[in-house]
Amino acid sequence: MNPPNDPRPELSDAALLKSHVEGDPTAFGELFTRHRDRLWAVALRTMRNREDAADALQDAMVSAFRRASSFRGDSAVTSWLHRIVVNACLDQIRRSKVRRAEALPENIDHDPKMVTDEDPARDLEAADLAGAVEEALGRINADQRAALVLVDMEGLSVEEAAAQLGVPKGTVKSRCARGRTRLAVLLEPLRGAA
């Protein structure tokens, strides 16, 4: 049974994008609604704070809205949207040249596995570790961070990440390797504490 708030669940992402290009005033909103949670997660992890993530996501969606007719169908619509979001984030980071080291809220993904009522001490340790990882992510190169977010946090393959970032697979691999090496150095003090 289809949810009552999804008026056209039978339309694919590509069909919704095509409808938008053809002038359907609600099609793009439906497409965004389908994917907003993942797009928001990518923007938030890449930008490191809510205001900047919201700005980057808004810029990305305006760009996608305006450039929808340029979608060639070489990849999935979701890959195209993710690429636009990542590029908007990287553009904003490059423009601002500001690196923030603010930890993300512990409930960034509202992950029920992250917090349990069974062992508050373990929950606190997990939250501290997540905060330290997020802070360390904020201290590495933006291109490396984008690659790590897509591959290690969003679970995309190297090929998918390369398509979204518009770079060769080897570039994604090297960015991930360099980013992981940098993260290992930044997180080394936690090893001694554990």
Q: Give the pLDDT mean for 109-119.
A: 48
Q: What pLDDT score does 153 carry?
A: 83
Q: Per-residue pLDDT averaged across 130-149, rounded?
A: 83
Output the average pLDDT for the chain.
Answer: 80
pLDDT band at 3 (very low <50, low <70, confident <90, very high): very low
Identify which has the larger pLDDT, 194 or 29. Answer: 29
Question: What integer pLDDT is reported at residue 66 of this predicted model?
Answer: 93
Mean pLDDT of the 110-137 span:
62
List the end-to-end C-alpha distance of the chain, in Å, as a whole number: 48
Res 192: pLDDT: 58
Residue-level pLDDT at 135: 80
User: What confidence score (pLDDT) does residue 5 get?
Assistant: 54
pLDDT tens-place string over residues 45-101: 888 889 999 999 999 999 999 999 999 888 889 989 998 999 898 888 877 754 444
Per-residue model confidence (pLDDT) at position 136: 82
Answer yes or no: is pLDDT of 111 > 60.
no
- Please tell me the predicted confidence (pLDDT) of residue 190: 73
Q: Residue 135, class by beta-carbon neighbours within 10 Å (0-12 exposed, 13-18 middle, 19+ buried)?
A: middle
Q: What is the DSSP-derived secondary structure letter of residue 72?
A: -
Domain 13-193 is in which class?
Answer: mainly alpha
How many CA atoms does the CB half-sphere of 4 hold within 13 Å? 0
pTM: 0.59
What is the pLDDT confidence band of residue 2, given thresholds at 50, 70 and 90?
very low
Pair 56, 47: CB distance under 8 Å: yes
Give the 3-state secondary structure percentages of the chain, helix then strand then coil, rounded to 5.
70, 0, 30
